[in-house]
Structures are given as C-alpha cells and as structure tokens.
Amino acid sequence: MTNRVKVAVTGAAGQIGYAILFRIASGQMFGPDTEVELQLLELPQALGALEGVKMELDDCAFPLLKNIVCTDKMEVAFKDANWILAIGAVPRKDGMERADLLKVNGGIFGPLGKAMAEHSAPDSKLFVVGNPCNTNCYIAMEASGLDKSRFFAMTTLDEKRAKTQLAQKAGVDVTEVTNMTIWGNHSATQYPDFYNAKIGGKSAAEVIGDETYLKDEFITTVQKRGAAIIKARGASSAASAANACVNGVYALTHDTPAGETFSMCLASKGEYGVDEGLIFSFPCRVENGELKVVEGQEHNEFGQEKFNATLEELRTERNTVKELGLV
C-alpha cells in the first residue's frame, strides 16, 4: 500500500516556502514511498505569487505530488492535514519590543492552534519554523487543547550550523560530527553543546582542545549565523532553513541511526528539570517509531550556566504570553 500525507504549509509563497515545497514534493521529507498533497496557506495579498509557485510545482511533474491547494483560509489549508509546517510569521522589526512581537504572533498562532484542533487529521503534528518559534509553538499548543506530543519547533538549522563549524575547526568531514545538541530556545541564548557533541565518537571539546575558542567564538558564530547571512546575502537564510525543516521532519518520522541524536524543540515532560510543557530543545531519538528525549547527558558548570540562561528566557516568554492573555 502506498502511503500518502497531506502537508499544510503556511507562508508558502515566502522565501523558505519557495525553497521547501519542491523538496517536499520530490519526496525528500517523507521518503520515496510516500505520496504528498500540498495545502498551501498565504495572506490574501500573496495569493498571486502563490499561484506562480503552484504553476512551477505543476511544471516539475513530480511523480509523488498528487494535489496542490492554494488558499488564504486556515480551515481549507488544514483540512485533514497530517503535518502543518508553520513557516509564516511576523518577524521582529526595528524598534519592536519582544512583548509586541509575541503579541502580534500570538494573533497568528492562537487561531492556528484552534484551527489545527478543528480541521486537521486526528494524528496531525505541528512543526513551527516562524519566529519566535518556541513560543509560537507554545501558544498554538495551548490554544489547541491537543496532546502536547504533537507540537515541535525547529532548532535543526542551529544544529547543522554548529556541526559544520566543529567539523571545519577540527578539519574533519561533517559526517564525523554527531550528537550535536542545541539546548533550549531558538534564539541568541541557545546553547550548542560542544561538550556532549562527538567528533569520531570522542567529545568534540577534547578533539578540538581549545575551550577558549569553543566557549566564545564557536557559540557566538552559531548564535549569530543568521545575522551574518543577512549581512552577506541581503536576505535571511532560506534554502538552509528549508533544508533544516526537511531534515527535521524526516528525523521525526524515521528511526534515528544507532548512537546518534538530533535536536528538536518539544514540550518538556520535566526532563533535565525543564518546566513541564515548555517548548525546549533537547537531544532526541526515534526508536521503533517512538520519539523520546535522550536523558542522562551531563553539564559542567559552564554548560549548566548556559542551560539555565536559555531556560530562564523561555520561562520569561511563557510568562509574558500569559500576562498578555495570549494563552
């Protein structure tokens, strides 16, 4: 029997949308045996551009792509969807306070969570890319009333950025770097954990042997990579963000290779002392189709300090959205 998934994509005519749809349609997200239907959501003013994207998708004649819907209505886009990729969001603009950013995105992600509960498939899952992605995901989860295990936000791009930085510093192939966990929030407080990351099976910190570089330049490079790309390209990361989203959903839907882990923001069940229900990035594995947080990783004083800082930021964001009445 052939599998088929309905994938709703919000912000589908944006930069990341343009880079991701062709890869989903070619089978890279769900594998070569799964047919896909795309249900694309945009703001009314972007429907014209979205129609152009649809024409290009048609012109690829992808064997696995069975249907494309373009709409500005959530209930149409989410109808029976198995996956909702929430890419559309309102980015922070100059002079905007964090609370304003959360408020304006709360206006998107609250209704999104409700529409997911009402219209999507009973097994549907939400994967949030649009920033601030952890808290947007939290707002949608709370608004939906659905089981918390169905909600994810993306630190996959940060994980991949960190892997490449370590590989280049150590002078090894990027495939040698494993267990690269981003802890916490997809923000400037994220902690890319070079102590628990491995190069050729050994601690990356030991292999690189330069903790001053790792604690300072490495972490800052990963945290500020998005800004560096904007400076160089004049536009924010798009193809790499789309690639991360493809890989992130793939990781959630396929068993993880032995000994490896991947980073994913999901609702804490109290692991590592993180408040239950916070959308926090942890080391994860999928075994026999079941997703779990890998427990038992240890932090030294430096790591624990970084961990606490990103946890504190997420607690503050949660408290702010509660105070604003967004959840």
Whole-Å CA distances, 42 to 54, 120, 165:
12, 17, 35
Q: Pick between residue 133 and residue 207 the one whose CB is nearest to ligand NAX.
A: 133
Q: How far apart are CA 159 and CA 171, in angstroms?
A: 18
Residue 186 annotated among the catalytic residues of the structure: yes
* Residues written for the chain: 327
Cis amide leading into 91 (omega within 30) = no
User: Is residue 324 near ligand NAX by the rule CB under 6 A?
Assistant: no
The interface with ligand NAX within residues 186-205 (CB under 6 A) comprises: 186
* DSSP track, 62-116: -TTEEEEEEES-HHHHTTT-SEEEE-------TT--HHHHHHHHHHHHHHHHHHH
| Least distance from ligand NAX to the Cβ atom of residue 158, Å | 6
Least spacing, CB of residue 275 vs ligand NAX, in Å: 21
Determine if 130 is a binding residue for ligand NAX (CB under 6 A). Answer: yes
**E strands in 171-319:** 177-178, 182-183, 191-192, 198-199, 202-203, 262-267, 279-287, 290-293
Does 154 interact with ligand NAX (rule: CB under 6 A)?
yes
| Residues of each annotated binding site for NAD(+) | 11-17, 105, 129-131
Question: Are 268 and 280 contacting, i.e. CB atoms less than 8 angstroms apart?
Answer: yes
| Residue 137 vs 208, nearer CB to ligand NAX | 137
238 touching ligand NAX, by CB under 6 A: yes
Confirm if 190 and 316 have CB atoms less than 8 A apart. no
Q: How far is the CB of 6 from ligand NAX (least distance, A)?
A: 17
Stretch that binds ligand NAX, among 13-21, 27-35, 138-146, 275-283 (CB under 6 A): 13-21
- Report, as residue numbers or ranges, the catalytic residues: 186
Residues that bind ligand NAX (CB under 6 A): 10-11, 13-17, 41-43, 46, 87-89, 91, 108, 129-131, 133, 154, 157, 186, 226, 236-238, 241
